[in-house]
Amino acid sequence: MSTVAGVLIQTTPGAGPRVAARLAAEPGLTLAGGDGDSRLAAVWEARDGATLEVLAERLLAADAEILGIFPTFVGDD
Amino acid sequence: MSSMNRREFLKTTAAASALIALGSRAQAAPADPPGLFWTKSVCRYCGTGCGLYVGVKDGRVVSVKGDTDNHNAGFLCLKGFLLPQIMRAPDRLGHPLVRKGGGFVQTSWEEAMALVAARFRTAIDRYGPDAVGFYGSGQGLTEETYAANKLFKAGIRTNNVDGNPRLCMASAVGGYVSTYGKDEPMGCYEDIDHADVILLIGSNTSEAHPILFRRIVKRKQTGKDVKVVVLDPRRTPTSRVADLHISFTPGTDLAILNAMANVLFAEGFVDEAFVAKHVAFGEGADVNKTLADYRAFLAEYTPAKAAAVSGARAEDIVTAARWFGEKGRTAMSMWTMGLNQRTKGVWANNLVHNLHLVTGKIGKPGSTPFSLTGQPNACGGVRDGGALSHTLPYGRVVANEKHRAEMEKLWNVPAGTIAPKPGLATIDMFRALEEGKLKALWIMCTNPAQSLPNADRYRRALRREGAFVVVTEAFHPTRTSELADVVLPAALWAEKEGVYGCGERRYQLLEKSIAPLAEARPDLEILCDLAKRLGHGALLPWRSPAEVWDELRAASRGTAYDFDGMTRERLRQSHGMLWPVPAEGHAGTKRRYVKGDDPLVPADSADRILFYGRPDRKAVVWLRPQKAPEEVVDAEYPFWFTTGRVIEHWHTGTMTRNCKELRQANYESLAELHQDDAIALGVQSGDAVRITSRRGSEVFKVRVVDTARKGVVFVHMHDPNHMCNRITIDAVDPASRQPEFKICAVKVGKA
């Protein structure tokens, strides 16, 4: 069982590329696109289906350039 | 579908959905798997009212997706996305329970309802109709709330009908009614897209209304020099987009708002023509003051004085006022519980309206005072539907003879049926239960034994000898159902059909997607059953929620809420409609009181705006002085205590704590402390502290944060095992009867 989520990551203006670079090393997260400025599209895979929210909370707390993480899809495998 | 295929499908769908949200159409979503169908609905959580589709397969809710044609543009917060998990949660209640001996036993509907009807009948016969009461919810469907209101006010003949919107929205109602003569915001969410200045006061929008926050962020990033001002004692995540965050001592924001008005006058930001034509002035309850009186009143509220009172910086107050008042720019205010949950809540609301009225920044795209709502149907079901102890449907009040006569005619009951005296508001209702005056209470779709302030007092009242308490609930046990005499299993969200009305006057239909769990029934069915057993079946004769809706449309006809043109079929086809909608051909009203938009403003009206809610066709600027909260800190109780929301959870947690992802984050309420306070107390993150007020105490683990204001302790409200409301105060605003959840005095010590 695992969880797969589509998410839109909203950053402060102009910070999209910087945040994308930092997220590149984030386990389970695959960047799918961005608008080059402040929004990133990503697919997030969490192994046990219970860590997605923890990851989101950690990123929101740790990265001041991330303003919000909005799921666009959540599904269980 | 094999595991690999399923996984690939999920990844493709996830990527497509994210790219579509980004605005890229490069990757289309794959086709739905066989057997899956979608029904249109609305999110079950906050008052934003996000449209969504419920995915159903094999009779079960398996997925949701945002409605791209609705105001939320397809976005949902994580809570909304995880709604499928609540439908089959382990604590879903499927059968009636009756208390016998020391515990509950499962019983039949017949036995449970016969007992309930007998106890209500006995209470009414022995002690009169005011010996019983109904306590409802901003989460019930409009049709359900209306049925309860009609049964109790016209059948049983008691006005003891109230609901949890009294705990969250009553002061906003008081603000709108006293200022404009009519309740509910005049603007709409689209105003965010046109706002040059956004004033957020007493609202952690980022966490409590994340989809509206996303819209604010978008406006901030795409508009020209858009300014966001946040007034909040805490530096919440909402402040991340703020150009200016003003922190202040809890309870001093009335001084700040008056000082902002002072600056508007001092620096020439007042729209004198608008004021002369559209504004009256008042003090106390009387509209008997003048512009000169108001200017004299404001004279003492200099930024320097407000700064001294509040602990904010005078220059920040001046900056906020200048941004708000700048000519040629639009300004939108949004607020929620930080203003409403106060003993001066109505006054605080009035002072926000004052800023719009003196600058004329109202009734234009991007200029509007907008109260955000916490529950999905507090507006549509309870406020608009008149299901509070002093109200009747669609702007009518029980104290008004003409209004009672109108409802008696609509309800086809004899003249004099509706009692002229308002019933018991929430806190008064539970105090009457405590005193033994209220003998039987019906609680629907809410959890007051956790959500009431000074909760232990009212938990004892619910178990008082002789009190009979019925709870209809989808979940058991809750902190309320555990105290009940009878618990009736209620159908939940996608298991029934009905209408929700969200914060922007948008009414939307929730279609039934699946059958109720086990023996659970929609609350409408349960109330109709009760009515029959009490001899009032003719009052609630409906065979479907759609029939109730037709009666509601008739009740709205000719009122300021008129949605007669909002037929069930139009609701089914649309993505929500904003009232007034007086005729079937009408598309709905984005902005009330505005000529050319609001159908209730005559087309030949001389001005662009007409405040038709009041007899003089003017809105009122109220002279409201700074007043301290009911309880202030002192040597014995030196900390301010405040409560609020976090993004992962909602209200008392009965739903969100059933979602496995949400259980991983912010599950437990923690005491957020400023680092200086933590050092002074000799505690650090993870240590346990006992927080004690004059009413009660609770133990919490500490989280030391750099976002707290020194001397202020924050705890979230969603944890049934660490209940913040053991501590909060049950003092109420004298006008709105809303309690002051947001402010009390406590002491903090190592546990």
Q: What's the rounded Cα separation, in Å, for the pair B670 and B703?
A: 6
Task: Give the pLDDT confidence score for residue A63 in this predicted structure.
Answer: 85
For residues B568 and B550, the answer to whether their CB atoms sit within 8 Å is yes
Asked if residue B621 has pLDDT above 60, the reply is yes
Any idea how long chain B is?
Answer: 751
Q: What's the rounded Cα separation, in Å, for the pair B671 and A68?
A: 24
Any idea how long chain A is?
Answer: 77
Which DSSP letter does residue A31 get?
E
Q: Does A33 touch chain B (CB under 8 A)?
A: yes
Inter-chain CB proximity B7 and A42 less than 8 Å:
no
Residues 239 through 268 of chain B touching chain A, CB cutoff 8 Å: 240-241
Inter-chain CB proximity A33 and B6 less than 8 Å:
no
Among A61, A34, A62, A30, CA closest to A46: A30
Domain B97-167+377-544 has CATH 1.10.760.10: no
In this complex, the residue of A8, A12, A50 whose CB is nearest that of residue B660 is A50
- Least confident among B381-395, B460-474, B509-523, B662-676: B662-676
Q: Which tens digits make up the pLDDT trace of B649-686? A: 999 999 999 987 788 778 999 999 999 999 999 999 99
Asked if residue B6 has pLDDT above 70, the reply is no
Which amino acid appears at position B656 of this protein? T
Is B742 considered catalytic here?
no
Give the gap in angstroms from C-alpha A56 to the nearest C-alpha of chain B.
Answer: 9
**Which long-range contacts does B530-533 make (Cβ < 8 Å, 24+ apart)?**
B530/B113, B530/B116, B530/B117, B530/B120, B530/B151, B530/B442, B531/B147, B531/B151, B531/B155, B533/B113, B533/B114, B533/B116, B533/B117
Q: Does B214 touch chain A (CB under 8 A)?
A: yes
Is B444 considered catalytic here?
no
Residue A36 vs residue B709, higher pLDDT = B709
Q: What's the rounded Cα separation, in Å, for the pair B420 and B389?
A: 11
Q: Does A74 touch chain B (CB under 8 A)?
A: yes
Instruction: Tell me which residue has tokens 């001041």.
Output: A64
Q: Which tens digits make up the pLDDT trace of A39-69? A: 888 888 876 555 677 777 778 877 888 888 8
Among B704, B637, B631, CA closest to B670: B704
For residues A68 and A10, the answer to whether their CB atoms sit within 8 Å is yes
Q: What's the rounded Cα separation, in Å, for the pair B29 and A74?
A: 14
The total number of structural domains in chain A stands at: 1
As a whole number, mean pLDDT of residues B515-526 equals 98
Q: What's the rounded Cα separation, in Å, for the pair B547 and B371?
A: 31
Domain that holds residue A33: 3-76
Q: Which tens digits make up the pLDDT trace of B527-549? A: 999 999 999 999 999 999 999 99
Inter-chain CB proximity A6 and B15 less than 8 Å:
yes
Residues 451 through 510 of chain B touching chain A, CB cutoff 8 Å: none
Residue B175 — pLDDT band, cuts 50, 70, 90?
A: very high
> How large is the ipTM?
0.89
Q: Which tens digits make up the pLDDT trace of B231-250? A: 999 999 899 889 999 999 99
Residue B646 vs residue B133, higher pLDDT = B133
For residues B424 and B162, the answer to whether their CB atoms sit within 8 Å is yes
Sequence-separated (6 or more) residues with CB below 8 Å from residue B687? B701, B702, B750
Task: Give the pLDDT confidence score for residue B3 in this predicted structure.
Answer: 40
For residues A20 and B615, the answer to whether their CB atoms sit within 8 Å is no
Do the two domains B32-88 and B170-374 of this chain adopt the same fold? Answer: no
Residue B25 — pLDDT band, cuts 50, 70, 90?
A: very low
For residues B238 and B204, the answer to whether their CB atoms sit within 8 Å is yes
Q: What is the pTM of this model?
A: 0.92
Domain boundaries, chain B: 1-31, 32-88, 97-167+377-544, 170-374, 639-750
Task: Give the pLDDT confidence score for residue A51 in this predicted structure.
Answer: 66
Q: What's the rounded Cα separation, in Å, for the pair B408 and B423?
A: 17
Active-site pick, B341, B375, B508, B738? B375
Q: Does A70 touch chain B (CB under 8 A)?
A: yes
Asked if residue B29 has pLDDT above 70, the reply is no
The alpha helices in B557-602, defined as continuous H runs, are 568-573
Asked if residue B14 has pLDDT above 80, the reply is no
Q: What's the rounded Cα separation, in Å, for the pair B86 and B495?
A: 12
As a whole number, mean pLDDT of residues B99-117 equals 96
The CATH number assigned to the domain with range B170-374 reads 3.40.228.10
Domain of A7: which CATH number? 3.30.70.920
In this complex, the residue of A30, A45, A70 whose CB is nearest that of residue B214 is A70
Q: Candidates 2.40.40.20, 3.40.50.360, 3.40.50.1820, 3.60.130.10; correct CATH number of B639-750?
A: 2.40.40.20
Per-chain mean pLDDT for chain B? 95
Q: What class has domain B32-88? A: mainly beta
For residues B717 and B328, the answer to whether their CB atoms sit within 8 Å is no
Q: Does A4 touch chain B (CB under 8 A)?
A: yes
Instruction: Tell me which residue has tokens 């999110």.
Output: B43
Which DSSP letter does residue B382 get?
I
Q: Does A34 touch chain B (CB under 8 A)?
A: yes
Peptide bond into B477 cis (omega under 30): yes
Among B321, B134, B335, B435, CA closest to B742: B335
| Portion of chain B with pLDDT greater than 90, in percent | 90
